[in-house]
Amino acid sequence: FLYHTPYTPHAKSSANISNLNKSKHLIDSLIRHDLRSSITVFFVALPLCLGISLASNAPVFSGLIAGVIGGILVTLISKSGLSVSGPAAGLATICAATILELGSLEYFFMSVAMAGVIQIILGIFRLGGFTHFIPSAVIKGMLAAIGILLISKQIPLIIGYAKPDFWSNQLFNIITFDHGFMHLADLYQTSSAGVFITAVCSMLLMFGWNKYLSKKISFLPGSFIAVAIGILLAMGINLFLPVIKLQPNHFIQVPNDILSYIHLPDFSLLMRMDHTNSLIWKNAILIGFVASLETLLSIAAIDKLDPYNRITPNNRELIAQGAGNIVSGLLGGIPITAVIIRGSANAEAGAKTKMSAFLHGLWLLLAILVAIPLINKIPYCILAIILVRTGYNLAKPSMIMDVYRQGREQFFPFIFTVVAILFTDLLIGVLIGLIYAIYFLFKHTYQAGFQVKETNVGHHQKYIFDLDQNVNFLNKRRLSEALDKIPEYSEVEINGLESQYIDQDILEIIQDYRSKAHLRHVQFSTLGIKSVKTIELH
């Protein structure tokens, strides 16, 4: 018995040492890597949470709530090592349109919660791979259109314009010379020189920081520098240049008792059989689709940055994001996705585990609890500058030129998607882009299917039809016309040895041609093609 039993005290001692080493390694990783990177991600996330709320026409605190839930709850459920979740710029224009269409924030928050339910269903039924069926040109077009819309919405905030009709009325009247000078004077009176100076100076300093100092002081991102400089500039202008000082409505206004604004929505809204209920579900489907798309694209990109080559399970990630959006919607937050900006910042800062994303959520929660007075000193124009940079990254001219160089099959679906979204809405625009991409697919599939080689054999011509790996009904007309053009007293060979799939319609055309070949004195043969019985329709 003693011979076959290991020495127990020694075994326990080895296990204890092993566990102790693991604990030391985790603590060392937490202090040296994850803690530091979480602070960097917090500095990236805070202005984005505020700015995306602003772009969504939702209360500013809605972005903070979503950031906390994305950092804490989603991270606990997700199996991603580096991705960081929170409000996404790609959903800002959709949220703004949804709030306008529903006419109520409560209805909007209910749509967000139902979008989370849809995401969980997608994850449970293992449908996380649906992004592979959407052409990349359409996805790029969707993101570019969102970027353009995001940039356009920030212009009034950058100049401190105090009316809501800048694009629909003010600028249009100036461009069309409809009482142009009068509207120019009105634009001057309703704008703020102090806001514009603050925005421009912050923008220049942010770009300078990103270009020259970001690598030397990597834990402070340019967006945080823009916020810090913006606060100082606004305070300086208000103190030393009161003529152009910023007004109270130019600053963020988050209530100090933010937790008192959190309340559960009215679930009876989902039971009503009326137009509002259908709009809630329609927008829930749209938010769920785009949030899932952006999440899956983000984690695919972030996994490529992971030095440990960890692969995030798509379906588990959809369940995590769905849980986050349910809670965010119920507590008055905007939609959550995995965000590539936060995730890439997390990877670049040296994060090792998902503790970094979790800690960044805790820092956001701490900011809500103790730093609201400081947050309320941030001018809206600074958030607008950060969102302009975010929109530019979504619609980079270099990316558009790259798509253009890939040829018309990529560029036309891309540009059709962009234009359709700008003139309709996101869902219709994506559908138009998909239809146009499918048109190119059908066109190329129709032109493919087989190749014809023509050779001289004695005194007659020989035609060899080499079938592709897949030949379907779209090649039916082209094959039929090619066979009908074969002159009399020729030789025809159809080679299907390399084909993995030949559609029944193609097999019937080949079978029918056997009798035609005999009547035309055509010597006909096939390789690797089975005979089928054709069905005559009377």
Per-residue pLDDT tens over the stretch 29-77: 666 678 888 988 998 899 889 989 988 999 989 999 999 999 999 999 9
Cα 403 from chain centre = 17
Task: Give pLDDT, residue 107.
Answer: 92
pLDDT value at residue 164: 46
pTM metric for this prediction: 0.74
Cα separation, 86 vs 358, in Å, equals 12
- Whole-angstrom Cα distance, residue 472 to residue 511? 15
Q: Are 395 and 143 in contact (CB under 8 A)?
A: yes
Element housing 337 (H / E): strand 337-338
Which residue ranges of the chain lie beneath pLDDT 50?
A: 1-7, 164, 166-184, 537-538
Length of the chain: 538
DSSP string, 105-163: HHHHHHHHHHHHHHHHHHHHTT-TTGGGGS-HHHHHHHHHHHHHHHHHHHHHHHTT--S
Q: Which residues pair with 461 in a beta bridge?
A: 456
Whether 99 and 84 have beta carbons less than 8 Å apart is answered as no
Write out the two tokens for 8: 């127990």
Q: Output the 3-class SS for 30-86.
A: HHHHHHHHHHHHHHHHHHHHHHHHHHCCCCHHHHHHHHHHHHHHHHHHCCCCCCCEE
**Running DSSP on this structure, what letter comes out for residue 489?**
T
pLDDT of residue 183: 45
Alpha carbon separation from 460 to 486, 489, 492, 527 (Å, rounded): 11, 7, 11, 21
Quote the mean pLDDT of the chain.
84
DSSP 351-397: --STHHHHHHHHHHHHHHHH-HHHHTTSBHHHHHHHHHHHHHHHT-H
Q: Which two tokens stand for residue 446?
A: 């129709």
Question: How far is residue 236's CA from residue 249's CA, in Å, rounded to a whole number?
Answer: 17
> Which residues, including other chains, have CB under 8 Å from residue 530's CB and lie 6 or more apart?
507
3-class state of residue 458 by DSSP = coil
